[in-house]
Amino acid sequence: MRHKNDLYKIETERLIKEIDMADAKTREKDTELILAQAEFDRKLKLVEERMLFRRGKNEDRTLLDLKQEHALALEALKQSNEEKQEEIEYQREKINKLQVQVEQLTLKKD
């Protein structure tokens, strides 16, 4: 019977050692999991930052394109305005000349 008790003790100690080893491996894997999760979170944050940077860059590029388009449109409007002003000035001079001619003709009539 003593021999059986010794075998049980040996088997129990072996099982306890296996449990301790399994527990140590579990803690090691938990630590690896925590590190992997932290690395994943870090990489995810970098990707998000890159996306925001690109979005910001694209928005800046879009804004710059809009500013350039508006500048071109404004320049075209200024050019058109100058042309219209020249046309108005020409027509005023023409009116003045015609008024002078009308006055001269009316003076000759009298």
> pLDDT truncated to tens, each residue of the chain (110 aa)?
788 888 888 989 999 999 989 999 999 999 999 999 999 999 999 999 888 888 878 888 888 888 999 999 999 999 999 999 999 999 999 999 999 998 888 887 76
pTM higher than 0.85: no
Q: CA–CA separation, 34 vs 44, rounded Å?
A: 15
DSSP letters spanning 27-66: HHHHHHHHHHHHHHHHHHHHHHHHHHHHHHHHHHHHHHHH
Looking at residue 110, its pLDDT comes to 66
CA 64 to chain CA centroid, nearest Å: 13
pLDDT of residue 45: 92
Residue 56: both structure tokens together = 């910001």
